[in-house]
Structure 1
Amino acid sequence: MTATVVITRPLAQAEPLAARVRALGRTVEILPLLEISALPDQAPLRAALADLTPYALIAFVSPNAIDAAFAYIAKWPQGLRAAVVGEGSRVALLAHGVPAEAIASPADPAHSDTEHLLQVLDIGALRGARVLIVRGESGRELMADSFRTAGAEVTLLPAYRRGVPQLDAQLAERLARLLDGQNDWLITSSEALRGLAQLAEQLDGPATVAKLQQQHLIVPHARIAETAAALGCHRVTQTASGDEGLLAALQSRP
């Protein structure tokens, strides 16, 4: 029996990938391991986005950051540069009317991460300039640190909140069922993987954690593979970053 492909992205980003996995003839189950919610106080976000003209560059870490920000951006200023790490974010900016020529992203969509974004940006040109990074309440500091090292004045703007879902009866049933089998789990963030481990521990302690450690995880970045190893998960396939890498890994599965 072919393993089910478990997609663990937040719900809004899971379905496009699910459609492509189904097109491969695979059975899919969407199990969001991170919930995205609005910040309870929107005033700081609204105020920060009221005037974008002082900035030389605005970086968005995810489609969630873009959607949250554009609730308060009426029109993208002419000449303002945007930066994103993934193809999904680039498409989201285009949908909000940002010109393609204004968007910087990794040259190869198969390498959609901060490291490859920084390679295509003219970091030196940001010395003395103001840069805004729109992200969740927490996140990696690599982008901000790199801009600061280049001499930019960096502002971090929280735009949404991420959190592990509560283990209610419905989630407990789904998680127990999936961990009882041998499935292919698409894990696209270390935070989601740590959340999965927490949920497994809450479900039935070490016995369920041991089942998680026997699952096949498909991950698009070395950082996530390292998190998996730290959690005792050793059936890990690391792919190129981006959806194409995940799909290629699934196609190579027997």
Structure 2
Amino acid sequence: MPGAVVITRPLAQALPLAERVRALGRAVEVLPLLDIAPLQDQSALRATLARLQDFALVAFVSPNAIDAAFAHIERWPAGVTLAVLGEGSRAALAAHGITPDRVDIVSPHDAARSDSEHLLETLDLAALRGRRVLIVRGESGRELMADGLRAAGADVTTLPAYRRSVPALTPALAARLVTLLAVPNDWLITSSEALRGLLDLLARVPGENLVAKMQQQRLIVPHARIAASAHELGLPLVTLTGSGDERLLAALQSRP
């Protein structure tokens, strides 16, 4: 019989998915591996979002970026194209009333490769030469999208919208990790950063070889880049689903 499904998304995205997993008859453990917090000073965020009409393209790197930004956006300006990486971000936009019938939304064609590299391949970079582009992201992150757009001649602004961090290794968290790794479970991993943070946490639990135990757990991931990170970190049991909760749920239902 399959074990629990460990959902490692930030809490706001983990809870809705947890309900859908429970509806499949699976036990669920919600274990957020990234904490999301608002910026202490949001003045620059508000000021930039107040002039979205100045940009030809606005790219959001994650559902968290969308939620943080749309707390300050009353209406999406006409003629401004949106770019997102995956189905989770499209769903987040829809929750804020932004749908493809109303706004031009661009995302990678390949659901298994919903990352910055493939978004750059999808965008009409020549049309962005000399035009202003806004990238809404966390306080830190990959520079590949910004670098690629600048190389194509776009005038790029990166806008931090939230702060993310790996949770601290408390005695309670260490005990929970030991318990989770005592039995086989399915781990839904939706971020390479979260996966690296998990391995660091496991390595710091005293008196346990939790990294070795993690190597026996099954990972379910939506993106090829996360699958590659898992293999680089020595985690061999990886199922790649493609972007979107429907594909993650289908992978759980096909669990032998």
Alpha-carbon distance in 2 for matches of 1:103, 1:80: 9
Alpha-carbon distance in 1 for matches of 2:240, 2:130: 38
Alpha-carbon distance in 2 for matches of 1:206, 1:29: 21
Q: Corresponding residue for 1:180?
A: 182
Aligned partner of 1:192 among 190, 194, 212:
194
- The verdict on how the C-alpha distance between 1:109 and 1:235 changes in structure 2, with shifts beyond 3 A counting, is closer
Secondary structure of residue in 2 paired with 1:75? coil
1:184–1:215 CA contact under 8 A, matched in 2: yes
Alpha-carbon distance in 1 for matches of 2:253, 2:99: 34
Q: Corresponding residue for 1:145?
A: 147
Count matched residues.
254
Alpha-carbon distance in 1 for matches of 2:96, 2:194: 27
Alpha-carbon distance in 2 for matches of 1:138, 1:189: 14
Q: How does 1:31-46 map to 2 (within 5 A)?
A: 31-46=31-46
Q: What RMSD over aligned residues (CA atoms) do the two structures have, in Å?
A: 2.0
1:84–1:103 CA contact under 8 A, matched in 2: yes
- The verdict on how the C-alpha distance between 1:213 and 1:107 changes in structure 2, with shifts beyond 3 A counting, is closer
- The verdict on how the C-alpha distance between 1:212 and 1:142 changes in structure 2, with shifts beyond 3 A counting, is same
Displacement of 1:44 in angstroms is 1.8
1:214–1:235 CA contact under 8 A, matched in 2: yes
Alpha-carbon distance in 1 for matches of 2:207, 2:132: 48
Structure 2 residue runs of 5 or longer lacking an equivalent are none
Q: Give the aligned residue type for 1:207.
A: N
- Are 2:234 and 1:217 aligned? no
- Are 2:67 and 1:75 aligned? no
- The verdict on how the C-alpha distance between 1:221 and 1:93 changes in structure 2, with shifts beyond 3 A counting, is closer
Alpha-carbon distance in 1 for matches of 2:96, 2:238: 36
- The verdict on how the C-alpha distance between 1:225 and 1:106 changes in structure 2, with shifts beyond 3 A counting, is closer
Q: Corresponding residue for 1:56?
A: 56
TM-score when scaled to structure 1? 0.91
Q: Corresponding residue for 1:122?
A: 124
Displacement of 1:16 in angstroms is 2.5
Alpha-carbon distance in 1 for matches of 2:148, 2:228: 23
TM-score when scaled to structure 2? 0.90
Alpha-carbon distance in 1 for matches of 2:194, 2:184: 19
- Bigger mean CA offset, 199-208 vs 60-69: 199-208
- Are 2:7 and 1:7 aligned? yes
Displacement of 1:118 in angstroms is 3.2
Displacement of 1:89 in angstroms is 1.8
Alpha-carbon distance in 2 for matches of 1:86, 1:132: 18
Q: Give the aligned residue type for 1:46.
A: R
Aligned partner of 2:171 among 146, 157, 169:
169
Q: Corresponding residue for 1:203?
A: 205
